[in-house]
Chain A
């Protein structure tokens, strides 16, 4: 029964879960969240848990340290940390255990620290708790900061959490977690809120520290790439059960459970483009917490399911010969059928040709905010064009001006004098309220978080109706018909129309938000990270939908994202932004194949790939400078690994075309970049 039993005997394992069952009591009813989870982690090993939101990953982590919320309880099974049974500890034993044996790092570092206490005092506290004297703790704290590679630890000790960037904060939290030299380190989505470049740094750090401390690591992440790059073994969770477990390279290369296959297939990988095929999706949704499942947990969504799957809990089946890889499936022999059957339904999109008319043109677009009587240029002299039916991807770290660009295009923020936004060759007013209805109708937006984007007290029908009426001028029955047609087009049923947003799943909510943007047949839709709040299988469905709509309606997209896989799938051209400036812009293939601007190169190399392709990482030194006080010359020079001393800090390079349609802002000649970048690959 126990998957764990094969990998390490539970008495010596750093963490062993034995058939753990956890329930949450809601309104007096116990709802099962974990249905017999078993795995074990050897000392010094890194184990990853992946799965869609709601599958029980975090509950597992919390249960491992007995940190369950008040309405959660362990009903059966055991948790052993280094042989000690955590489930039967008394409160004081538990306190000692948490103080000395195990540590946890949460998703949001800002919440893990006291905002009104200096970093130094918080760190010192975690050492004095262990019984060190004040002065010893002081030394230990400094040492801890050095250990997590914080430059200038003395100064950092004297700062408040809000004065540090997200990456630095997470380092400090890790330093605190390591204070007790834990045998077990639990990381719950430790890099989810961070930029790709910072994420890469934090992951590097965890990798190094793991070796130094010889701590076992339990990593919870929804990003498969992170798990692949950091973990020795991985467990794939679904509906409170581990459905597949094995060495991460095996699981990701040769998945043996239909769910794992589905997860991996729904990722845009291997440079696949919308012009080649639609993304695979996993139909259906996760069974609800607490539902009775005397079956295979994945049965409702599995293409292989038959009567056996519907009636019996599948056994744990070993895969291969090394005794490490297991799946919980009745039909492991039929997995190859799934893998071969990748959908090759092309989406009816042809790459937009040069013949397509230009819809949107931005010329000398700048936006300067005024904060406390200081000018902060958030957008500097941006020139971009967008053709009909084209997708322009915008990438860059947070603070690079991506969202400001979107807002300025839409007129939510009005551009500085001198910059213009032109629609079909005619300049439009800088702010939304002074734009004509036709101009408003032509440009709409899809937001990142549908919970915030949809009015929670309105029904879906009212949301769509209002947009149709306001943007097209159609009223009454006619408008209602249009709403229903629109909903059908977005594959929402009439039943959905009378629900409130909170009654819909995340994917459906985002569909409603997209439907609203398409209410007035827009020419351009600005999408601000529309899938980053969604699970990968839902993300695939939304990306397919966006591509379909584009093929049918010839809508142009400005697509803002930090996910390179997504932008590669959907975008025809990509613009890379840094500190409010376009650093590189070109066709997607050119941008991905290089030669690149050194910043693009660093961004690309920072992505942890689920395919585990060997990438030589380019580390970016330092933080993004403040836009209020940008560096001289090329704004990227202080962090550029290829900086030319004496040139880059003096003059800002112009945005020069290096190949047809491909332009970048760099002093290094393109041929030299090509040679340099070929060498590192």
Chain B
């Protein structure tokens, strides 16, 4: 029953007011009438205590830190980030040059086994995080950045501009993602810059739609009218007035998009449209090795694939936690 929701006291309604104690002395003056001029002084108590508010927010962050999902997610991401930063400085063997016996199954000396060229899979998986860790967040960030601009324009201006942009967005969404991405990468080359650009271009329309919906709800609020009444430019209203109020969904969108970006980047490199062999990139490793699974050599495929999965899951765990905390506050 949704009606009952409104009787749940909101956090700001139930925290104590600072002026309350002082009030007693104010209002217990013997005069029976209070002239309207003193009203505001006493209405001071209408202020909700600041420290308690901040405390409430701090409590939210404490809540998120108490979530095991968040902790696990952050831990996994940190592990891969450390691997990406230090690369072959911390791997047990050189990911590229070291050679042992090919196709050794996992054992104490090679926990993840060796690949067909006798390279250490563990070392390669560790070093292989570099490309994804760098490219995926950048692509997601750029995509969200562009999506915010496009979505803001669609939502704020509405009318024919919204119609035209909406159709373009829909057309974009109708294209088979991988095909377009592959086409772009094969024509423009497979440098990180191009992959970032492709990921951003794929995400922009999706983000734009989310932002548009959030802006639509804000656009008709009176503070926007008030801004127009004092002659603010559209850009000011969009990015200074409205943007801070839609930051919640945008942050959530960003974290979710990073997860998708990891997957997209890995897929592209699996299809050969990313770092080329002998690069230890996860996608590239999987694509090099997956044909030998049927011969019982599973570890060369499994470990890089599990690495991809772990990163995607970790980012999603973080995204979920962020979303629930933002929604609660």
Binding site for B on A (CB under 8 A): 24, 26-27, 31, 33, 54, 58-59, 62, 67-69, 71-72, 106, 108, 111-112, 278-281, 283-285, 287-291, 299-306, 310, 337-338, 341-343, 345, 410, 412, 432-433, 435, 437, 440, 443-445, 447-449, 452-458, 466-467, 470-471, 490-493, 495-496, 499, 502-508, 511, 516, 520, 541, 544-545, 548
What CA separation (Å) do A83 and B225 show in the bound complex?
55
Given known contacts A503-B12, A504-B47, A305 and B28 CB-to-CB distance under 8 angstroms: yes
Contact B223 A284 (CB under 8 A): no
Over the window 15-59 of chain B, the binary record of Cβ atoms lying under 8 Å from chain A Cβ atoms (1 yes, 0 no) is 111001001101111011111111111111111101001000001
| B171, CB-defined interface residue at 8 Å | no
| B296, CB-defined interface residue at 8 Å | no
Q: Which residues of B have CB within 8 Å of A455? A: 223, 241, 244-245
Over the window 181-218 of chain B, the binary record of Cβ atoms lying under 8 Å from chain A Cβ atoms (1 yes, 0 no) is 00000000000000000000000000000000000000
Q: Which residues of B have CB within 8 Å of A471? A: 230-231
Contact A433 B245 (CB under 8 A): no
Contact A345 B4 (CB under 8 A): no
Contact A300 B226 (CB under 8 A): no
| B11, CB-defined interface residue at 8 Å | yes
Contact A72 B7 (CB under 8 A): yes
Name the contact of B39 in the complex, choosing from A59, A106, A111, A544 (C-beta under 8 A).
A544
Contact A283 B14 (CB under 8 A): no
What are 23 sample pairs from A and B whose C-beta atoms fall under 8 A apart?
A54-B13, A69-B7, A69-B8, A278-B36, A283-B39, A283-B43, A288-B14, A288-B15, A301-B27, A341-B32, A343-B33, A343-B35, A412-B225, A432-B228, A432-B231, A443-B229, A445-B225, A445-B229, A447-B225, A453-B226, A503-B48, A508-B47, A516-B226
Given known contacts A280-B33, A288-B17, A412-B228, A505 and B27 CB-to-CB distance under 8 angstroms: no
What CA separation (Å) do A68 and B7 show in the bound complex?
8
| B97, CB-defined interface residue at 8 Å | no
Contact A491 B37 (CB under 8 A): yes
What CA separation (Å) do A505 and B40 show in the bound complex?
12
What CA separation (Å) do A289 and B12 show in the bound complex?
11
Contact B39 A24 (CB under 8 A): no
| B5, CB-defined interface residue at 8 Å | yes
Query: How many residues does chain B have at the interface if contact means C-beta atoms less than 8 Å apart?
Result: 57
Binding site for A on B (CB under 8 A): 1-5, 7-9, 11-17, 20, 23-24, 26-29, 31-48, 50, 53, 59, 221-223, 225-226, 228-232, 241, 244-245, 247
Given known contacts A303-B33, A541-B36, A26 and B14 CB-to-CB distance under 8 angstroms: yes
Give the A-B pair count, Cβ closer than 8 A. 199
Closest Cβ neighbor of B2 among chain A residues:
A111
Give chain B's interface secondary structure class. helix
Q: Which residues of A have CB within 8 Å of B40? A: 490-492, 511, 541
Q: How far is the CB of B106 from chain A (nearest CB, A)?
A: 47
Q: Which residues of A have CB within 8 Å of B4? A: 62, 67-69
What CA separation (Å) do A456 and B247 show in the bound complex?
12
Contact B13 A300 (CB under 8 A): no
Closest Cβ neighbor of B14 among chain A residues:
A289
Name the contact of B26 in the complex, choosing from A283, A304, A435 (C-beta under 8 A).
A283
Q: Which residues of A have CB within 8 Å of B228? A: 412, 432-433
Closest 3 A/B residue pairs (Cβ): A505-B46, A491-B40, A457-B244
What CA separation (Å) do A614 and B229 show in the bound complex?
45
Closest Cβ neighbor of B40 among chain A residues:
A491
Q: Which residues of B have CB within 8 Å of A495? A: 44, 47
